[in-house]
Structure 1
Amino acid sequence: MRYDVVIVGGGASGLACAITLASSQGRGWEWAEGRKFLVIDNGKSDLNRALLKNAPGVPVETLGTELLEKLREQAKALSENVDFVEDTVVKVEGEKGSFKVHTQSGNVYEAEYVVLASGFHKFEIECEGVEVVDNPKSPKPGRVMIKHDGDYKVREGLYVAGLLAGVSSMFTAAAGSGVQVAINILSEWAGKPIVIHDVPKKD
C-alpha cells in the first residue's frame, strides 16, 4: 500500500506530526487534498509510563496512556486518511518519492516521505544514509540520536523527529519537533512556507 508519509513511531513526536499533516486537509489546498498518512507503532513509547503534570495545555495528572489515545483520536478526527498499524519497522530503503518501509511482520509500505520518530533508546532499523550518534541532551547515558541538517532533515524525503532527533526528553519538546517536521513537508508540497492556524467562526 502506498502513502504520502509513513511515520515510524507513534509517541509524542510521531502523533504530533500525524495530527499536523492531517489538519492540512479540508482547507481547499489542492496540493494537500487526498494525501494519505500512516503511523507504524510498536507500542513502546515512553509516554506509556508517564504521568504528566507540567505539559502546557494538558490537565495535571494526565496519564501518558490516556494522552496517547487522545492524540490518535485527534488525528483520525482531522482526516480519515490517517491509518495506524501496530508493528515494528526493520528496514527503510529507497529515496524521496519511492521509499519502501519493511516491517517485522513482513508487510511493505511505499511512501513519498518517511519520518523516523522511534525514540532514543536505540536505533536498529536498516536505513541507508543514517548516522546514529550519542544523544547529548539525554539525562541518561547510552541514548542515541540521528544526525540531521538542523531542521530535522536527514536526507531528501527522510526526516527525524522527537528524542531521536536530539530534542530534550519532554513531551512538549518532542511533540513540537514532530509538528515542525510536518510543517517542513507541507511547505515542500506547497512550494512555500506554510503554517496552519484556525480561528473561531464568526456568528
Structure 2
Amino acid sequence: MEKYSVIIIGGGPAGLTCGITLASSKGKFDFAEEKKYLVIYDDYSDLDKALLRNVPGIQKGIRGKDLLKRIRKQASEFDNLILKKGKVVEAHGEKGNFTVKLESGEEYRSEYLVVATGFHRFDIKGLDLEIIPHRKSPRPGKIMIKNEGGKVRDGLFVAGLVAGVPTMYASASGSGAEVACDILSEWAGKTVVVHDVPDTD
C-alpha cells in the first residue's frame, strides 16, 4: 500500500490549493524534498456550477468548471502531487499512520490527512468527527466539522467549506493554503510560508 506525506480528500478550491501549496514547497525547504501528496476527488464540486465575477486576479465571468480544469492542470504539473479520481468511503488512523479506503477497494496511507469535502454532508466512515451546523452558510442544513483553526486533532485537518469558512471561492482556497502552511510549519518546527519571488538581474 503506497504511503504519502499528506492525503487530501476533496478536489475543489480548498483541496487543490492545499495540494499545490504543499507541492510547491519542494525546492524551498530541505524537509520537503522527499514529501509526496495525494488529492482524491470525486465527480462533483460546488465550483462546477459557479460563475465567478468577484475573485481578484481571476478572469471575470469564468465558469467554475473551466477554472477547476485549469487548477487540476496546474496541480498535475508538480511531480510530487498525484490527483486520483475516486470516492472515499472510509478513513481511520492517527498522525503518522492514516489509512484511506476508496469505493473501488483501493487503499492509501499517509502521515497527515486533510478533509476538504464541502458542506453538503459528510459520510466517510471511521474518523469519529463532530459534525455541526455550518456557522457561515446562507443556506440551512449545511454542515461543518468542528475544528480549531483548521485542525481537528494531531495530523488531521479540515479545509474549505467543511472547515466552516464562508461559501466563497477565495475563502475556500485561502483555507486550503493556510492548512498547507500549518502542516509545513509543523514539519519545520517554526512558522513557514511558501513564497516565490522573481529572478533579479
Instruction: Settle same-fold status: TM greater than 0.5.
Output: yes
Identity percentage over the alignment?
50
**Other structure's SS at 1:101 match:** strand
Partner of 2:90: 91
> Which consecutive unaligned segments of at least 5 residues does structure 2 have?
none
**Other structure's SS at 1:17 match:** helix
Partner of 2:198: 200
The offset of 1:74, in angstroms, is 1.8
Cα deviation, 1:121-157, whole Å, max 9, x if unaligned, reads: 00001133310000021111110000012x1000110
CA distance in 2, matches of 1:5, 1:59: 31
Matched, 1:40 2:40: yes
Partner of 1:26: 27
**Other structure's SS at 2:32 match:** coil
CA distance in 1, matches of 2:73, 2:32: 20
Cα deviation, 1:82-120, whole Å, max 9, x if unaligned, reads: 111111111111100000001111011000000000000
Partner of 2:16: 15
CA distance in 1, matches of 2:68, 2:55: 14
CA distance in 2, matches of 1:69, 1:35: 25
Q: Is the 8 A contact 1:129 1:155 kept in 2?
A: no
Cα deviation, 1:46-72, whole Å, max 9, x if unaligned, reads: 001111100111000111111111112
Cα deviation, 1:6-53, whole Å, max 9, x if unaligned, reads: 0000001001101100110022x2200021100100121100111110
**Other structure's SS at 2:114 match:** strand
CA distance in 2, matches of 1:92, 1:59: 37
The offset of 1:76, in angstroms, is 2.6
CA distance in 2, matches of 1:118, 1:32: 25
Partner of 2:145: 146
**Other structure's SS at 2:94 match:** coil
**Other structure's SS at 1:126 match:** coil
Partner of 2:75: 75
Partner of 1:58: 58
Which residue identity lines up with residue 11 of structure 2 in the other structure? G
Partner of 1:106: 105
The offset of 1:73, in angstroms, is 1.9
CA distance in 1, matches of 2:146, 2:106: 27
CA distance in 1, matches of 2:128, 2:103: 21
Partner of 2:179: 181
Q: Is the 8 A contact 1:10 1:43 kept in 2?
A: no
Partner of 1:156: 154
Q: Is the 8 A contact 2:76 2:83 kept in 1?
A: no
Q: Is the 8 A contact 2:95 2:156 kept in 1?
A: yes
TM-score under structure 1 length normalisation: 0.96
CA distance in 2, matches of 1:202, 1:81: 27
Could you say what the CA RMSD is over the residues aligned between the two structures, in angstroms?
A: 0.9
Where does structure 1 differ by over 6 angstroms across 4 or more consecutive aligned residues? none
